Chains A and B, each alone.
Chain A
């Protein structure tokens, strides 16, 4: 970076709306390389809205979002290639097998990962034995694991936006995801995630970003 900052994503003066209601205002957030940020805030105060804004799925009513100093609207394809957004929904098709579903979602970024990489990612998440099973036959926790297996594929994007990634995961799943987050931070990626439970990640210790100061009283 020419300006010497390690900032990957920066939001300034951001305003988020759901329907007609303004949820937060004047929000300032910077995600630097190697950052793992825990986005906190009570239910219905706009955590998901903020993640969707940062992912470019919605347009903010005010404020700017910059990726490596370039506004999102102009950042285009290079920015989307550097982003993983995993929402509440797992985005897996019921009638596809776990392998097919993962390959499709991961392939949307440009090139489809090869069979070996997909198998390794599923093994990492502990769902390799269900690789050929239709997604419809998987439990909630297993589906979450398949969706999160995107993060274990080789050459992962630099920026992770994860909405409640620990949802439905058991202890082993939580440990695996913590491991993935630690590796991601170590190769100077950045992650922003929401979670209702306290994070058990210790290396690096997640920075807490509290949504409350920006929330608009209803």
Chain B
């Protein structure tokens, strides 16, 4: 199982390294989308500080959804996906590896960029820490659920839009607790409860989503 997981993960990372510009697009989207808000809402620092966590989270969510819809499309088109499903090990290893690769390539850079964005919005130090902590626990959930959506909508026309409609409702708990953690810290409370809930969500998604994704992949390739 780990052999297959590592083989798929290393291949996807290698492919991402070969297509650097394409791999950076989610990050660029994230930064551009976030920086639109001060232009739309106005430069009032108090307002911006208040809405910053929500904006960062919503933009991270959208960046993940837009980048995840091609997660299986390429492998499906060139026949690699069939070959991976024919491997002796269970397809759950493929689903986990693809989600892990997606997180490393498009989730992790967002977490690195988030504090810089937070500074632009004049967020305080503790609030920034809470934002990063929340994203660390939350973005893997987005990759896992996004992978499930990508597998379900594989081969459909307008699959990209459908994926977003299927997955966005499932990601709302992560959004609520992730942005809520920053809110709690800013009002002087502990964010421990929010982290615990995010952690629980992450564990539940890690245990459940790859199995569902593997089943969806089998159905999509039939």
Contacts and interface: CB of A to CB of B under 8 A. Distances in A.
A, B: real partners: yes
B78 A91 contact: yes
Contacts of B222: 57-59
B88 A93 contact: no
Nearest to B17: A95
Name the interface size band of chain B: 20 to 34
Given A95-B15, A95-B18, A77 B82 contact: no
Contacts of A85: 82-83, 86
Interface string B188-220: 000000000000000000000000000000000
Contacts of B85: 57
Interface string B88-118: 1100000000000000000000000000000
B155 to A, nearest CB: 13
A109 B88 contact: yes
A105 B81 CA distance: 10
A213 interface: no
B4 interface: yes
Interface in B1-41: 3-4, 7, 11, 14-15, 18-19
A136 to B, nearest CB: 10
A201 B80 CA distance: 29
Contacts of A94: 78
A93 B82 contact: no
A93 B7 contact: no
Contacts of A58: 222
B79 interface: yes
A111 B83 CA distance: 15
Given A55-B86, A89-B77, A91-B78, 9 more contacts: A78-B88, A81-B88, A85-B82, A85-B83, A90-B79, A91-B82, A95-B19, A107-B3, A108-B84
Interface of A: 55-59, 76-78, 80-81, 83, 85, 87-96, 100, 104-105, 107-112
**3 smallest A-B Cβ distances: which pairs?**
A89-B79, A91-B79, A77-B88
